[in-house]
Amino acid sequence: MTTNPSRPKALVIRTAGTNCDQELLRAFQMAGAATTSIHLDNLCADPTQLRSFDLIAFPGGFSYGDDISSGRIKAMHARQHLLPELIAARDRGTPIIGICNGFQVLTQLGLLPGDSNSNSNSDDGNASVALCQNEHGRFIDDWAVMELNHNSNCIWTQELKNFTDPTVCRFPYAHAEGRLVLADHYQINPDLVPLRYATNINGSHDRIAGVCDPTGLIFGLMPHPERMLDWNRHPFATRLDSATKSGPTPGLSIFTSAVNAVKNQGAVV
């Protein structure tokens, strides 16, 4: 059991080229977790360190300069050294999130979408989903209205249901390779799609912004919820009523959802 169940332990895995790891640490802290940041090389030397954490996060950025392709080198190191421990973490109920570059890593590891109908995302290229160059072939950054799938069991998005006005739920995005595509003959289960873009910003299949695995524990998304933890970051903050701004932002709600789920289950690590 955690030494302090009221303060679950969250791990942010950083490496060369990642960014927003500090914002991610702050997100977990604001959500009520104790936080630690560990370099990927350190974890690869001793993957059993993952057993000490109740939540695991892969931040965004441009890991290893996105040489070869986005997230490829980080995914290669994680596959070689961390994958068995990540699977074990999922099996014992540990929530795992990957944001932007982290989402790219989780798909290449085969942890997403992770359903029985998908191929193994192995190094031979047999991936069921991939995050490819945006439809218009350029880097984009702006804000997008999110469309929530209320039927999804993704634990990370449960508290987004508190936002009855769909236009309030907006996340910033910044990516060049965020267009989600499916392999030939693969059909993703709609319940594994917790978030869609209200307007398709990058050409993603079915406007998909984020994907979870069948357990609802593993979640990857291209937008950056950790960049809008405070209401004054919302693009229309001055237009929102005080009642809306009395609670956590949609971005923070992603993290409170997972932290509260861990608290409620009394996570075993």
Phi, psi of 212 (to 5 degrees): -120, 170
Tokens encoding 76: 């290669």
Spatial CA neighbour of 55 closest among 19, 15, 18, 12: 12
Residue 13 lies in a domain: yes
- Of the residues 20, 23, 100, 175, which is catalytic? 100
- Of the residues 20, 23, 175, 224, which is catalytic? 224
Residue 226 lies in a domain: yes
Confidence of residue 268 (pLDDT cuts 50, 70, 90): very low
**Helix pair 72-81, 101-109: axis angle to 10 deg:** 50
Spatial CA neighbour of 146 closest among 162, 165, 163, 169: 169
Is 100 a catalytic site residue?
yes
Is 85 a catalytic site residue?
no
Judge whether residue 72 has pLDDT over 90.
no
Residue 3 lies in a domain: no
Distance CA 11, CA 26 (A): 12
Mean pLDDT for the stretch of residues 245-250: 95
Residue % of the chain over a pLDDT of 70:
93
Mean pLDDT for the stretch of residues 243-250: 94
Mean pLDDT for the stretch of residues 116-131: 67
- Among left, alpha and beta (phi > 0; psi -120 to 50; other), residue 38 is beta
Residues 6+ apart with CB under 8 A from 219: 95, 96, 97, 98, 154, 155, 156, 157, 194, 210, 211, 212, 213
Three-state DSSP state, 93 = coil
- Please count the structural domains in the chain: 1
Residue 101 lies in a domain: yes
pTM of the model: 0.93
Judge whether residue 18 has pLDDT over 50.
yes
Q: Is 218 within 8 Å of 111 (Cβ atoms)?
A: yes
Which residue in the block uniquely carries the two structure tokens 């289950």? 265
Mean pLDDT for the stretch of residues 25-29: 98
Spatial CA neighbour of 60 closest among 247, 260, 229, 223: 223
pLDDT in tens, 93-105: 999 999 999 999 9
CB atoms within 10 A of CB 140: 15
Residue 18 DSSP label:
B
Tokens encoding 176: 């060049």
Tokens encoding 46: 């001793």
pLDDT in tens, 143-196: 999 999 999 999 999 999 999 998 899 999 999 999 999 999 999 999 999 999
- Of the residues 85, 159, 226, 234, which is catalytic? 226
- Give me the domain span that covers residue 98: 9-265
Tokens encoding 157: 């998005």
H or E element, residue 102: helix 101-109
CATH of residue 62's domain is 3.40.50.880
Confidence of residue 126 (pLDDT cuts 50, 70, 90): low
Specify the pLDDT at position 156: 98
Specify the pLDDT at position 46: 98
